[in-house]
Protein backbone atom coordinates (compact mmCIF):
# COMPACT_ATOMS: atom_id res chain seq x y z
CA UNK A 1 0.00 0.00 0.00
CA UNK A 2 1.21 3.50 -0.86
CA UNK A 3 1.09 5.97 2.01
CA UNK A 4 0.88 9.72 1.40
CA UNK A 5 1.26 12.66 3.76
CA UNK A 6 -1.15 15.47 2.92
CA UNK A 7 -0.92 18.95 4.45
CA UNK A 8 -4.40 20.33 5.09
CA UNK A 9 -4.99 24.09 5.13
CA UNK A 10 -8.68 24.73 5.69
CA UNK A 11 -8.44 28.52 5.90
CA UNK A 12 -11.32 30.92 6.42
CA UNK A 13 -15.03 31.16 5.67
CA UNK A 14 -16.34 28.05 3.96
CA UNK A 15 -12.83 26.58 3.77
CA UNK A 16 -13.25 24.12 6.65
CA UNK A 17 -16.61 22.87 5.32
CA UNK A 18 -15.44 22.13 1.80
CA UNK A 19 -12.12 20.63 2.86
CA UNK A 20 -13.93 18.23 5.20
CA UNK A 21 -15.92 16.91 2.24
CA UNK A 22 -12.81 16.47 0.11
CA UNK A 23 -11.19 14.48 2.92
CA UNK A 24 -14.35 12.36 3.14
CA UNK A 25 -14.01 11.51 -0.56
CA UNK A 26 -10.27 10.87 -0.31
CA UNK A 27 -10.87 8.43 2.55
CA UNK A 28 -13.53 6.71 0.46
CA UNK A 29 -11.25 6.26 -2.53
CA UNK A 30 -8.47 5.02 -0.23
CA UNK A 31 -10.78 2.20 0.89
CA UNK A 32 -10.95 0.79 -2.63
CA UNK A 33 -7.57 1.75 -4.07
CA UNK A 34 -4.22 0.64 -2.68
CA UNK A 35 -3.47 3.96 -0.98
CA UNK A 36 -3.71 5.60 2.43
CA UNK A 37 -3.55 9.23 3.52
CA UNK A 38 -2.17 10.82 6.66
CA UNK A 39 -3.35 14.39 7.19
CA UNK A 40 -1.66 17.19 9.10
CA UNK A 41 -3.44 20.50 9.51
CA UNK A 42 -1.77 23.89 9.25
CA UNK A 43 -2.95 27.50 9.48
CA UNK A 44 -3.03 30.17 6.81
CA UNK A 45 -5.12 33.26 6.21
CA UNK A 46 -7.21 35.31 8.61
CA UNK A 47 -7.53 32.45 11.06
CA UNK A 48 -3.73 32.22 11.22
CA UNK A 49 -3.45 35.95 11.83
CA UNK A 50 -5.99 35.78 14.65
CA UNK A 51 -4.00 33.06 16.41
CA UNK A 52 -0.38 33.92 15.59
CA UNK A 53 -0.38 37.49 14.27
CA UNK A 54 0.91 36.22 10.91
CA UNK A 55 -1.25 35.11 7.94
CA UNK A 56 1.46 32.57 7.05
CA UNK A 57 3.19 31.08 10.11
CA UNK A 58 6.56 29.46 9.51
CA UNK A 59 5.15 26.21 10.90
CA UNK A 60 2.73 26.05 7.95
CA UNK A 61 5.62 26.22 5.51
CA UNK A 62 7.44 23.50 7.45
CA UNK A 63 4.43 21.18 7.46
CA UNK A 64 3.77 21.79 3.76
CA UNK A 65 7.35 21.21 2.68
CA UNK A 66 7.53 17.79 4.31
CA UNK A 67 4.24 16.63 2.80
CA UNK A 68 3.53 14.99 -0.54
CA UNK A 69 0.93 17.64 -1.44
CA UNK A 70 -1.14 20.44 0.05
CA UNK A 71 -4.95 20.50 -0.02
CA UNK A 72 -6.14 24.05 0.55
CA UNK A 73 -9.57 25.59 1.06
CA UNK A 74 -9.87 29.37 0.88
CA UNK A 75 -8.79 32.45 2.82
CA UNK A 76 -9.85 36.01 3.50
CA UNK A 77 -12.91 38.00 4.41
CA UNK A 78 -14.06 41.48 5.32
CA UNK A 79 -12.95 40.93 8.91
CA UNK A 80 -9.32 41.35 7.85
CA UNK A 81 -9.69 43.91 5.07
CA UNK A 82 -8.42 46.83 7.16
CA UNK A 83 -5.18 45.17 8.21
CA UNK A 84 -1.86 46.42 6.83
CA UNK A 85 -1.17 44.80 3.47
CA UNK A 86 1.57 42.50 4.79
CA UNK A 87 -0.80 41.15 7.46
CA UNK A 88 -3.76 40.48 5.18
CA UNK A 89 -4.65 36.87 4.29
CA UNK A 90 -3.89 37.42 0.59
CA UNK A 91 -0.33 38.46 1.37
CA UNK A 92 0.15 35.20 3.21
CA UNK A 93 -1.05 33.28 0.16
CA UNK A 94 1.35 35.11 -2.18
CA UNK A 95 4.24 34.36 0.18
CA UNK A 96 3.13 30.76 0.45
CA UNK A 97 3.22 30.28 -3.31
CA UNK A 98 6.66 31.85 -3.50
CA UNK A 99 8.03 29.73 -0.65
CA UNK A 100 6.77 26.52 -2.24
CA UNK A 101 7.93 27.51 -5.72
CA UNK A 102 4.57 26.78 -7.33
CA UNK A 103 5.10 28.64 -10.58
CA UNK A 104 2.37 26.98 -12.66
CA UNK A 105 -1.33 27.33 -11.94
CA UNK A 106 -3.51 24.80 -13.76
CA UNK A 107 -7.17 25.72 -14.05
CA UNK A 108 -9.42 23.40 -16.03
CA UNK A 109 -12.78 24.70 -17.21
CA UNK A 110 -15.18 21.88 -18.03
CA UNK A 111 -18.87 22.19 -18.79
CA UNK A 112 -20.81 19.15 -17.62
CA UNK A 113 -23.57 18.10 -20.00
CA UNK A 114 -26.00 17.97 -17.07
CA UNK A 115 -25.36 21.65 -16.32
CA UNK A 116 -25.16 23.07 -19.80
CA UNK A 117 -28.13 25.33 -19.01
CA UNK A 118 -26.42 26.74 -15.91
CA UNK A 119 -24.06 28.86 -17.96
CA UNK A 120 -25.04 32.40 -18.83
CA UNK A 121 -24.07 31.58 -22.43
CA UNK A 122 -26.21 29.67 -24.90
CA UNK A 123 -26.03 25.87 -24.54
CA UNK A 124 -24.74 25.44 -28.09
CA UNK A 125 -21.80 27.71 -27.23
CA UNK A 126 -20.70 25.95 -24.04
CA UNK A 127 -21.70 22.33 -24.57
CA UNK A 128 -18.54 20.25 -24.79
CA UNK A 129 -16.17 22.93 -23.44
CA UNK A 130 -13.07 21.33 -21.91
CA UNK A 131 -10.07 23.63 -21.68
CA UNK A 132 -7.09 24.20 -19.40
CA UNK A 133 -5.61 27.56 -18.48
CA UNK A 134 -1.92 27.32 -17.59
CA UNK A 135 -1.07 30.51 -15.71
CA UNK A 136 2.40 31.57 -14.58
CA UNK A 137 1.94 32.15 -10.86
CA UNK A 138 4.95 33.66 -9.10
CA UNK A 139 6.27 36.20 -11.60
CA UNK A 140 4.94 39.10 -13.60
CA UNK A 141 3.39 42.29 -12.31
CA UNK A 142 2.31 40.91 -8.93
CA UNK A 143 5.93 40.28 -7.93
CA UNK A 144 7.95 42.67 -10.13
CA UNK A 145 10.23 45.33 -8.72
CA UNK A 146 10.21 48.27 -8.34
CA UNK A 147 6.73 48.89 -7.05
CA UNK A 148 5.24 51.40 -4.66
CA UNK A 149 3.54 54.74 -4.14
CA UNK A 150 4.91 58.26 -4.17
CA UNK A 151 2.18 60.70 -3.25
CA UNK A 152 -0.33 60.73 -6.09
CA UNK A 153 1.76 58.30 -8.15
CA UNK A 154 1.67 54.50 -7.84
CA UNK A 155 3.49 51.93 -9.93
CA UNK A 156 4.01 48.21 -10.45
CA UNK A 157 6.46 46.55 -12.79
CA UNK A 158 5.83 43.57 -15.03
CA UNK A 159 8.99 41.47 -15.24
CA UNK A 160 9.64 38.06 -16.79
CA UNK A 161 12.96 36.34 -17.39
CA UNK A 162 13.73 33.73 -20.01
CA UNK A 163 14.01 30.88 -17.45
CA UNK A 164 10.63 31.78 -15.94
CA UNK A 165 8.96 31.68 -19.35
CA UNK A 166 10.72 28.48 -20.36
CA UNK A 167 9.60 26.52 -17.32
CA UNK A 168 5.93 27.52 -17.56
CA UNK A 169 5.96 26.83 -21.31
CA UNK A 170 7.28 23.32 -20.74
CA UNK A 171 4.44 22.64 -18.28
CA UNK A 172 1.86 23.80 -20.84
CA UNK A 173 3.32 21.80 -23.71
CA UNK A 174 3.51 18.62 -21.62
CA UNK A 175 -0.13 19.03 -20.64
CA UNK A 176 -1.07 19.67 -24.27
CA UNK A 177 0.63 16.42 -25.26
CA UNK A 178 -1.82 14.60 -22.98
CA UNK A 179 -4.82 16.45 -24.40
CA UNK A 180 -5.60 17.62 -27.94
CA UNK A 181 -2.08 18.91 -28.68
CA UNK A 182 -3.09 22.53 -29.14
CA UNK A 183 -1.80 25.58 -27.27
CA UNK A 184 -2.86 29.19 -27.55
CA UNK A 185 -0.28 31.46 -25.94
CA UNK A 186 -1.89 34.70 -24.77
CA UNK A 187 0.10 37.92 -24.43
CA UNK A 188 0.11 41.61 -25.39
CA UNK A 189 3.13 41.53 -27.68
CA UNK A 190 1.85 44.40 -29.80
CA UNK A 191 2.36 46.76 -26.83
CA UNK A 192 4.54 45.21 -24.13
CA UNK A 193 8.24 44.42 -24.40
CA UNK A 194 7.83 41.71 -21.78
CA UNK A 195 5.20 40.05 -23.98
CA UNK A 196 7.51 40.16 -26.97
CA UNK A 197 10.07 38.18 -24.98
CA UNK A 198 7.29 35.84 -23.82
CA UNK A 199 6.27 35.11 -27.40
CA UNK A 200 9.86 34.57 -28.58
CA UNK A 201 10.64 32.09 -25.80
CA UNK A 202 7.36 30.17 -26.20
CA UNK A 203 8.08 29.76 -29.92
CA UNK A 204 11.54 28.40 -29.10
CA UNK A 205 10.12 25.87 -26.63
CA UNK A 206 7.51 24.84 -29.21
CA UNK A 207 10.26 23.39 -31.43
CA UNK A 208 10.79 20.71 -28.75
CA UNK A 209 7.15 19.62 -29.10
CA UNK A 210 6.60 19.34 -32.87
CA UNK A 211 3.28 17.49 -32.41
CA UNK A 212 1.71 20.45 -30.62
CA UNK A 213 0.06 23.18 -32.65
CA UNK A 214 0.97 26.62 -31.26
CA UNK A 215 -1.01 29.78 -31.90
CA UNK A 216 -0.81 33.25 -30.35
CA UNK A 217 -3.54 35.66 -29.32
CA UNK A 218 -3.58 39.09 -27.73
CA UNK A 219 -5.21 39.07 -24.31
CA UNK A 220 -8.04 41.44 -25.20
CA UNK A 221 -9.00 39.25 -28.16
CA UNK A 222 -8.67 36.12 -26.02
CA UNK A 223 -11.12 37.54 -23.49
CA UNK A 224 -13.62 38.10 -26.27
CA UNK A 225 -13.01 34.73 -27.93
CA UNK A 226 -13.59 32.86 -24.64
CA UNK A 227 -17.15 34.15 -24.76
CA UNK A 228 -17.67 33.99 -28.51
CA UNK A 229 -16.29 30.48 -29.13
CA UNK A 230 -14.73 28.81 -26.08
CA UNK A 231 -14.49 25.42 -27.78
CA UNK A 232 -11.70 26.73 -30.02
CA UNK A 233 -9.34 26.49 -27.01
CA UNK A 234 -7.64 23.44 -25.54
CA UNK A 235 -4.66 24.74 -23.52
CA UNK A 236 -4.25 28.46 -22.86
CA UNK A 237 -0.75 29.48 -21.78
CA UNK A 238 -0.33 32.93 -20.29
CA UNK A 239 1.31 35.13 -17.65
CA UNK A 240 0.22 35.92 -14.14
CA UNK A 241 -2.12 38.88 -14.43
CA UNK A 242 -3.61 37.79 -17.78
CA UNK A 243 -4.13 34.27 -16.43
CA UNK A 244 -5.73 35.59 -13.27
CA UNK A 245 -8.37 37.38 -15.32
CA UNK A 246 -8.90 34.83 -18.09
CA UNK A 247 -9.17 31.83 -15.76
CA UNK A 248 -11.93 33.53 -13.76
CA UNK A 249 -13.70 34.37 -17.01
CA UNK A 250 -13.36 30.77 -18.17
CA UNK A 251 -14.70 29.51 -14.86
CA UNK A 252 -18.08 31.08 -15.52
CA UNK A 253 -18.55 29.04 -18.69
CA UNK A 254 -19.56 26.21 -16.37
CA UNK A 255 -22.27 28.23 -14.65
CA UNK A 256 -20.92 28.05 -11.11
CA UNK A 257 -17.59 28.96 -9.63
CA UNK A 258 -18.29 26.20 -7.10
CA UNK A 259 -17.50 23.52 -9.67
CA UNK A 260 -13.96 24.26 -10.74
CA UNK A 261 -10.66 23.14 -9.19
CA UNK A 262 -7.08 24.25 -9.61
CA UNK A 263 -3.56 22.99 -9.09
CA UNK A 264 -0.48 25.07 -8.38
CA UNK A 265 2.63 23.07 -9.18
CA UNK A 266 6.34 23.64 -9.49
CA UNK A 267 9.67 22.26 -8.42
CA UNK A 268 8.68 21.46 -4.83
CA UNK A 269 5.24 20.73 -3.36
CA UNK A 270 1.96 21.21 -5.23
CA UNK A 271 -1.05 23.07 -3.81
CA UNK A 272 -4.56 21.97 -4.79
CA UNK A 273 -7.50 24.29 -4.19
CA UNK A 274 -10.88 25.42 -5.51
CA UNK A 275 -10.73 28.60 -7.55
CA UNK A 276 -13.43 30.33 -5.50
CA UNK A 277 -12.96 32.42 -2.40
CA UNK A 278 -13.89 31.94 1.23
CA UNK A 279 -17.50 33.20 0.87
CA UNK A 280 -17.87 34.30 4.50
CA UNK A 281 -21.46 35.35 3.83
CA UNK A 282 -22.54 31.70 3.57
CA UNK A 283 -20.02 30.12 5.95
CA UNK A 284 -21.53 27.76 8.48
CA UNK A 285 -24.83 27.43 6.62
CA UNK A 286 -24.06 24.10 4.97
CA UNK A 287 -24.97 25.37 1.50
CA UNK A 288 -21.55 25.75 -0.15
CA UNK A 289 -20.73 23.56 -3.13
CA UNK A 290 -17.85 21.18 -2.31
CA UNK A 291 -17.39 19.88 -5.87
CA UNK A 292 -14.58 22.29 -6.76
CA UNK A 293 -12.62 21.19 -3.71
CA UNK A 294 -13.32 17.50 -4.32
CA UNK A 295 -12.17 17.97 -7.91
CA UNK A 296 -9.05 19.65 -6.58
CA UNK A 297 -8.39 16.53 -4.52
CA UNK A 298 -8.73 14.54 -7.74
CA UNK A 299 -6.17 16.81 -9.41
CA UNK A 300 -3.88 16.21 -6.43
CA UNK A 301 -4.13 12.47 -6.95
CA UNK A 302 -3.41 12.85 -10.66
CA UNK A 303 -0.68 15.48 -10.77
CA UNK A 304 1.09 15.10 -7.41
CA UNK A 305 0.70 11.42 -6.56
CA UNK A 306 0.30 9.77 -9.99
CA UNK A 307 -2.76 7.91 -8.69
CA UNK A 308 -4.72 8.18 -11.91
CA UNK A 309 -7.13 5.33 -11.16
CA UNK A 310 -8.14 6.96 -7.89
CA UNK A 311 -8.57 10.32 -9.63
CA UNK A 312 -10.70 8.69 -12.32
CA UNK A 313 -12.95 7.21 -9.63
CA UNK A 314 -13.58 10.63 -8.11
CA UNK A 315 -14.19 12.30 -11.46
CA UNK A 316 -16.67 9.57 -12.42
CA UNK A 317 -18.43 9.89 -9.07
CA UNK A 318 -18.87 13.65 -9.55
CA UNK A 319 -20.23 13.06 -13.04
CA UNK A 320 -22.70 10.44 -11.77
CA UNK A 321 -23.82 12.65 -8.90
CA UNK A 322 -24.65 15.50 -11.27
CA UNK A 323 -26.23 13.17 -13.83
CA UNK A 324 -28.61 11.86 -11.18
CA UNK A 325 -29.78 15.36 -10.33
CA UNK A 326 -28.11 16.07 -6.99
CA UNK A 327 -27.43 19.79 -6.59
CA UNK A 328 -26.28 22.22 -3.95
CA UNK A 329 -28.14 25.49 -3.58
CA UNK A 330 -26.05 27.38 -6.16
CA UNK A 331 -27.29 24.96 -8.85
CA UNK A 332 -30.82 24.45 -7.58
CA UNK A 333 -32.43 25.88 -10.71
CA UNK A 334 -30.75 23.49 -13.13
CA UNK A 335 -32.46 20.11 -13.48
CA UNK A 336 -32.27 19.47 -9.76
CA UNK A 337 -33.95 16.31 -8.45
CA UNK A 338 -32.69 16.83 -4.92
CA UNK A 339 -31.12 19.84 -3.19
CA UNK A 340 -28.26 18.77 -0.96
CA UNK A 341 -26.32 20.34 1.86
CA UNK A 342 -22.55 20.58 1.63
CA UNK A 343 -22.13 17.46 3.75
CA UNK A 344 -24.79 15.52 1.86
CA UNK A 345 -23.15 16.29 -1.48
CA UNK A 346 -19.80 15.11 -0.16
CA UNK A 347 -21.34 11.89 1.14
CA UNK A 348 -23.08 11.13 -2.16
CA UNK A 349 -19.86 11.61 -4.11
CA UNK A 350 -17.92 9.53 -1.58
CA UNK A 351 -20.52 6.75 -1.88
CA UNK A 352 -20.32 6.71 -5.69
CA UNK A 353 -16.52 6.73 -5.50
CA UNK A 354 -16.52 3.24 -4.01
CA UNK A 355 -19.16 1.76 -6.34
The residues annotated with a catalytic role in the active site are: 142, 188, 220, 244, 248
CA-CA distance, 95 to 106, in Å (whole number)? Answer: 19
CA-CA distance, 230 to 218, in Å (whole number)? Answer: 15
Residues contacting residue 152 through CB under 8 Å, at least 6 positions apart: none
DSSP 244-301: HHHHHHHHGGGS-GGG-EEEEE-SS--EEEESS---TTTTTSS----HHHHHHHHHII
Residues contacting residue 177 through CB under 8 Å, at least 6 positions apart: 209, 211, 212
CA-CA distance, 32 to 162, in Å (whole number)? Answer: 45
CA-CA distance, 225 to 262, in Å (whole number)? Answer: 22
Amino acid sequence: MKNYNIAIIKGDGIGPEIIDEAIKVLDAVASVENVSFAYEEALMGGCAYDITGDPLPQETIRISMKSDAVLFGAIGGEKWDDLPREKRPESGLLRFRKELGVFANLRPAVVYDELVNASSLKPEIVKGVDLMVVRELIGGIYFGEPKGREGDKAYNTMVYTRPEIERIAHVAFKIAMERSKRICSVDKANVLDVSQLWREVVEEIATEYPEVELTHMYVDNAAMQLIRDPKQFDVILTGNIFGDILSDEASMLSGSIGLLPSASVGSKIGVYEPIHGSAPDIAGQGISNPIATISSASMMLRYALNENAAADRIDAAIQRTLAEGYRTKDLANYDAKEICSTSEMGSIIANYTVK
